[in-house]
Amino acid sequence: MNRQSQAAVLFLLGAALLHAGTTDLYLRYVKSGLRPLLLASGAILIVTALATALYERRRARQEQEGDGHTHPEPRISWLLVLPLLALILVAPPALGSYSATRTGTALQEPLAYPALPATGPLRLSLVDYAGRAVYDHGRTLAGREVQVTGFVALDHGGTPYLIRMALNCCAADAQPVKVALTGHIPPVLQPDTWLTVTGTYTPRRVADPVNDGPIPFLEVTSAKPVPAPRDPYDESWNN
C-alpha cells in the first residue's frame, strides 16, 4: 500500500470520526463524555492525511525528475476504504433485547443514594431504581410513585423485563440492567419497544437465569410507548 492510499484511508477514517462526533452516531459506539476525544482524533487524522499526501506528492515529483517515471502500487489496497464508507453510510442499531436476554444483569451496588424530591412522581433512571430496590431494599421508594424508561425484553418463560444497557466506555462493554414487570402490564409487548412505565416499588425480586444476579420487580400501574432516546445507553452505571 503506497503513501497515497495510506493518506486516503487516514483522511476517510478522520472524516468518519468527525461525522460520528458531530452527529448522534457516536452514541452508538462510545459514551457521550468521549465526544471531545473523538473529535480531536478525527481532526488529527485528517491533518496527518493531508501532510502525508503533500509529502508523497513532493517525493513522486522528485522521483519523476530523477528517473522519468513513477512506480505504481497494486490498486487492490483501495478495498480498505470500503469498511470506512460503511461506517459513514450505515449506522449500526443499538444493542437490544437479543443481547440483553443472553447476558446476565450487571446491576452494581451504588456508592450513594442521592436525595429524592419530596413530592411528585419520582422520575428515575432504570439503573437508579434497580439499585435502590435491591441494595437499599426500597427504603427511599416505599409509598412513592415512580417512572422509569427502558426497552422491553421477554425471557424464555415470557417474563417481561424493562432494560437499559449500561456502559463503562463503549458499546463493546455494554451490559444489561433489568427490572421485571408485574401488575397492569400491557397485553401485547413487542421486544425492543421503548416504554415509560409508571408504578410502585415491590420487594419481590428474582434471580437472573443467566448469572443469578438480582432482578427487582416494579408494580406497574400504567405504561406508554415512547420513542427511543437520543442516547440509548445508560452511563450512570459506574458514576
Whether residue 226 sits in one domain with residue 124: yes
Whether residue 201 sits in one domain with residue 103: yes
Whether residue 141 sits in one domain with residue 227: yes
Query: pTM, whole model, 2 decimals?
Result: 0.72
Q: What is the C-alpha separation between 198 and 70, in angstroms, rounded?
A: 70
Whether residue 202 sits in one domain with residue 132: yes
Residue 15 scores a pLDDT above 70: yes
User: What does the pLDDT look like over 153-208, one tens digit per residue?
Assistant: 998 888 899 999 888 777 677 889 999 999 999 888 999 999 999 999 999 999 99
User: How much of the chain, in percent, has pLDDT values that exceed 70?
Assistant: 82
At residue 118, the pLDDT reads: 85
Q: How many domains does the chain have?
A: 2
Last residue of a domain, one of 89, 120, 149: 89
User: What are 207's strand-pairing partners?
Assistant: 214
Whether residue 106 sits in one domain with residue 157: yes
Least-confidence region, from 27-31, 45-49, 181-185: 27-31
Which has the higher per-residue pLDDT, 118 or 181? 181
113 Cβ neighbours under 8 A, 6+ residues apart: 131, 132, 136, 140
Among the listed residues 153, 150, 151, 129, the one whose alpha carbon sits nearest the alpha carbon of residue 141:
129
10 part of a folded domain: yes
User: CATH number of the domain that 189 lies in?
Assistant: 2.40.50
Whether residue 81 sits in one domain with residue 101: no
How would you class 144 by CB atoms within 10 Å of its CB: exposed for 0-12, middle for 13-18, buried for 19 or more?
A: middle
At residue 17, the pLDDT reads: 80
Whether residue 83 sits in one domain with residue 172: no
239 part of a folded domain: no
SS (H, E, C) the chain: CCHHHHHHHHHHHHHHHHHHHCCHHHHHCECHHHHHHHHHHHHHHHHHHHHHHHHHHHHHHHHHHHHCCCCCCCHHHHHHHHHHHHHHHCCCCCCCHHHHHCCCCCCCCCCCCCCCCCCCCEECCHHHHHHHHHHCCCCCCCCCEEEEEEEEEECCCCCEEEEEEECCCEHHHCEEEEEEEEECCCCCCCCCCEEEEEEEEEEEEEECCCCCCEEEEEEEEEEEECCCCCCCEECCCCC
The sign one gets for the Cα dihedral 184, 186, 220, 214 is positive
Least-confidence region, from 109-118, 125-134, 169-178, 204-213: 169-178
Whether residue 127 sits in one domain with residue 17: no
User: What does the pLDDT look like over 63-100, one tens digit per residue?
Assistant: 776 665 555 555 655 666 666 666 666 666 778 898 89
Whether residue 110 sits in one domain with residue 54: no
Containing structural domain, residue 85: 3-89
Mean pLDDT of the 101-115 span: 90
144 part of a folded domain: yes
Mean pLDDT of the 35-45 span: 84
Whether residue 79 sits in one domain with residue 101: no
Instruction: Answer whether 23's CB lies under 8 Å from 1's CB.
Output: no
- Residue 28, Cβ neighbours under 10 Å: how many? 17
121 part of a folded domain: yes
Whether residue 162 sits in one domain with residue 62: no
